[in-house]
A and B are shown apart, each in its own frame.
Chain A
Amino acid sequence: MSKKRTLFKVLSIALMCAMLFPLTAGAVSYPIETDDHGLSYWLPMQPIASKYLASYNEHMIFKIINENTGMNVNFLNASTADAATQLGLLVAGGELPDILQIRTLYPGGAAAGVSEGIFADLTPYIKEFAPDYYAAITTSDLAYRLATDSQGRILAFHIIKATAPAFNRMNYLQEVMDDLQLDIPATIADCEEDFEAMKQKGMSGVLINANGQQDIFMWPFGITPGWCLDENGTVQYGQYTQSYKDYLTLMNKWYSAGYIYKDFMSSMTDAERRALFTNKVVGMFPDAVDLANSAAAASGLNSQPLPYVRLTDGQALHFEVTNAQALPEPSMATVVSAASKNIEAAVQYLNYYYTKAGADLCNWGVKDVYYTEDANGVKTFTDMMLNNPDMPLGDVQMNFKLHLQAKLAEPDVVCNPNVVANEVALEKRMRYSDDTAIDGKQVLPAMEMNPEASEARSDIMTDINTYVDEMTLQFIIGLKSLDEFDNYLAQLKSMGIEDAIAITQEQYDAFMNKPGIPN
């Protein structure tokens, strides 16, 4: 792909995002006028940030947001690794901070917390105290439905973003490709040829997820891990389909042939997994394209992202989430505690992240220090961001801007320093964005289920998830014969999977029929 074409694509995405971003509603003024300027905010801390900061109280952007909003926010940090456990203990302890970034960590989500009385229903506050957020979630009926629960209530602040093509792909090293004279694989059969060549060289072909459920290899079989839609738009559970047997058969064949890294099921950190790739222990590696690129570059190597492989050339795949439209998604769900003494100020504070000033701080950092903006509003990172002598490029995202945050987000191809740092990285990121045989038709929307349905499904799925994880690995490494797959399906049925599917279908139908933006 030519540089010009890549640039055109990225600019198109940037322009599209800019057009979709709501104009500032502007009914709230900052600094916030309130008697009590103190707020507390529970926020899982990213490992990269914790390399440099003792807590988010020291984070430059949060400090500036404190100044701009006039609030004195005290951050309570949890490590990302056991954030769910710590959130559980925090809730059990009873004394909640004013704001919590619950992400998808709280069982039943924000709706469950509101019905239990620990999180505040924000519906009465949003229009008045968070007009910018309200504007962002009312850009379309779909956006509004995603931002509200089954009763139409607004319970959380979500990250709102348009997404460029998905950033996770399989990756090769150019050096391995040259050494073994490999081409970019297009089909499963191509992969097998490559893996055989790698095996002859003493390498493992591919490192798959530790639970053996590798989405990219499931997609050609018409499924993805967990909840999704079938070809007719009906809810299905990927691991409870006959197609799953086809996927497992392939994985078992690859494992037996020595194509899959033998210890893939071991608990490894991301760094350990990447080291297997950069040390050429494995040939094909699933990772975010930009991270694989920077990890390879750090070892003096050159990674190459791969297209999604198919059973046959040109096969249509329906599981990539690419939203041209800026939509809310629950991965950074942030709620306000029902016990907060200053809910209005908390809502106003969170609204700041959806104002232009707040979003620019989050997405770009400090103006004229980390980025510049020309007369046409086009922003460009400075060397302080892209070539900082004190911090590697992979780390600046977490330290000089706010990445994982409920905010109005711009896509990574526009403002992720790791991606936009150089034309090569950006080109890699965008390389397959013109693949027209890919869409998200079978992706189940990230809908907010009602608490009762969520709890009922969770009760069923706890043991089922354990069983699926266990059996998947046993099928792949050959401890269980695939002749027993029907028994596996029967066991899932006896454990109540069909009730869980029925619950999900009902919730999906309700979501699709839910009213959109109120008049």
Chain B
Amino acid sequence: MQTTPQADLRVKPGMLFRFRRDLKRHPMVYVMLVPVLAYYIIFHYLPMFGVVIAFQNYKPAKGIDGSDWVGLKNFITFFNGPYAGRLIRNTILLSAYQILLGFPAPVLLALAFNEMRGRRYKSLCQTLSYMPHFVSLVVICGIIRTFSSSTGLITVIMSWFGHEPMNLLAQPHYYRAIYILSGIWQQIGWGSIIYLATLSGVDQSLFEAADLDGANRLQKIIHINLPVLVPIIAVQLIMRVGNIMSEGADKTILLYSPVTYETSDIISSYVYRIGLEKQSYSTASSVGLFNSLINMGLVIFANWFSRTYVKESLW
């Protein structure tokens, strides 16, 4: 429904009034909000002005004021270059596979944990599944590299099935599988916590009613547990889709090598190489800005999709 300017005027005093009233009632809550707001303002909003260097031939010595304006040259150079298409494709594919395979995994694990009856065995499994999350990514990638080398554990096991021993991380066609499966292994336990917490709050009378109706365990999962998880799944999915182009550079930089750039080089690793290693700040900023704009569009789309079809959304 469209609102008139008059309607807007009626709403604004009301909002302000409600805010003041809430502030008086819960002042400490607002005090607690201050550091969070400061964090976002200082580290996320103020630096946004820096994107201006994407339109400059930025020289640190000359600063933003003194560097030459080049308009869209950096964007044109990137898109006319040989790697734009490949970087975008690799980034989207890696994220898409992670969403397809990595996103449902913690949900399924949480449902499985929720069904386990032996408490000691359950807590042992949970603890074991959380542990990889606490290991440094550098160590995790070191393990992956060792296991994937031509004499590594995974390679040896594969060789029992007739696979020629080779460095798996030097094969572009294995790179994504290694990246995604290792990611699932590291994060599946930790990622399941939020779903387990939600499942622990399910009204037990629903299960009693389902028992009376003769529902089996699978039916209870499908008709009780999963619907309970839908809101949190929707929120998590929107957030994840919003980061589809923001696949982190850290793990990629630790795992990739020039021989696998064909499938492993993604926008963030390219930005890192160009920006920090080659010190071409403007080119890196233009690629980063492009990345952020796509991400913003994806968040809006995912939110709309969720609101329309799942009836759950962030706004």
Chain A contacts for B118, CB-based, 8 A = none
- Answer yes or no: A85 CB below 8 A from chain B CBs: yes
Chain B contacts for A463, CB-based, 8 A = 81-83
- Answer yes or no: B262 CB below 8 A from chain A CBs: yes
Residue of A263, A458, A469, A474 with most chain B CB atoms under a 10 A cut-off: A263
- B-contact 0/1 string along A465-486, CB 8 Å cutoff: 0110110111001010000000
- Answer yes or no: B201 CB below 8 A from chain A CBs: no
Alpha-carbon distance between A469 and B261 when the two chains are bound, in angstroms: 10
Residues of A87-114 at the interface with B, using a CB-CB cut-off of 8 Å, are: 88-89, 91-92, 94, 106-107, 113
CB distance from A516 to the nearest CB of B (A): 31
Query: In the complex, are the beta carbons of B145 and A92 less than 8 A apart?
Result: no
- Answer yes or no: A210 CB below 8 A from chain B CBs: yes
Alpha-carbon distance between A131 and B279 when the two chains are bound, in angstroms: 34
Residue of B60, B81, B169, B257 with most chain A CB atoms under a 10 A cut-off: B60
- Answer yes or no: B193 CB below 8 A from chain A CBs: no
Chain B contributes a number of interface residues (CB within 8 A of A) equal to: 32
Alpha-carbon distance between A479 and B263 when the two chains are bound, in angstroms: 13
- Answer yes or no: B313 CB below 8 A from chain A CBs: no
**29 A-B contacts, Cβ less than 8 Å apart?**
A84-B277, A85-B277, A88-B279, A88-B281, A89-B276, A92-B60, A94-B60, A94-B63, A116-B59, A117-B61, A262-B149, A263-B151, A263-B170, A265-B167, A265-B259, A266-B149, A266-B167, A266-B169, A267-B257, A462-B274, A462-B280, A469-B258, A470-B262, A473-B170, A473-B257, A477-B259, A479-B172, A491-B82, A495-B82
Query: In the complex, are the beta carbons of A473 and B145 less than 8 A apart?
Result: no
- Answer yes or no: B24 CB below 8 A from chain A CBs: no
CB distance from A384 to the nearest CB of B (A): 38
CB distance from A295 to the nearest CB of B (A): 21
- A-contact 0/1 string along B255-279, CB 8 Å cutoff: 0011101100000000001101111
Chain A interface residues toward B at CB < 8 A: 84-85, 88-89, 91-92, 94, 106-107, 113, 116-118, 210-211, 262-263, 265-267, 458-459, 462-463, 466-467, 469-470, 472-474, 477, 479, 491, 495
Q: A84-B279, A210-B257, A467-B82 are in contact. Are A263 and B61 (CB under 8 A)?
A: no
CB distance from A146 to the nearest CB of B (A): 24
Chain A contacts for B61, CB-based, 8 A = 91, 113, 116-118
Chain B contacts for A210, CB-based, 8 A = 257
Q: A85-B276, A91-B60, A116-B61 are in contact. Are A262 and B166 (CB under 8 A)?
A: yes
Question: Which residue of chain B lies nearest to A210 when distances are taken between CB atoms in the complex?
Answer: B257
Chain B contacts for A477, CB-based, 8 A = 170, 259
- Answer yes or no: B62 CB below 8 A from chain A CBs: yes
CB distance from B140 to the nearest CB of A (A): 15
Alpha-carbon distance between A495 and B81 when the two chains are bound, in angstroms: 8
Chain A contacts for B280, CB-based, 8 A = 107, 459, 462
CB distance from A340 to the nearest CB of B (A): 14
Given A91-B61, A107-B278, A473-B259, 9 new contacts (CB under 8 A): A91-B60, A107-B279, A116-B59, A463-B83, A466-B258, A467-B82, A477-B259, A479-B171, A479-B172
Alpha-carbon distance between A177 and B169 when the two chains are bound, in angstroms: 32
Chain B contacts for A265, CB-based, 8 A = 167, 170, 257-259
- Answer yes or no: B187 CB below 8 A from chain A CBs: no
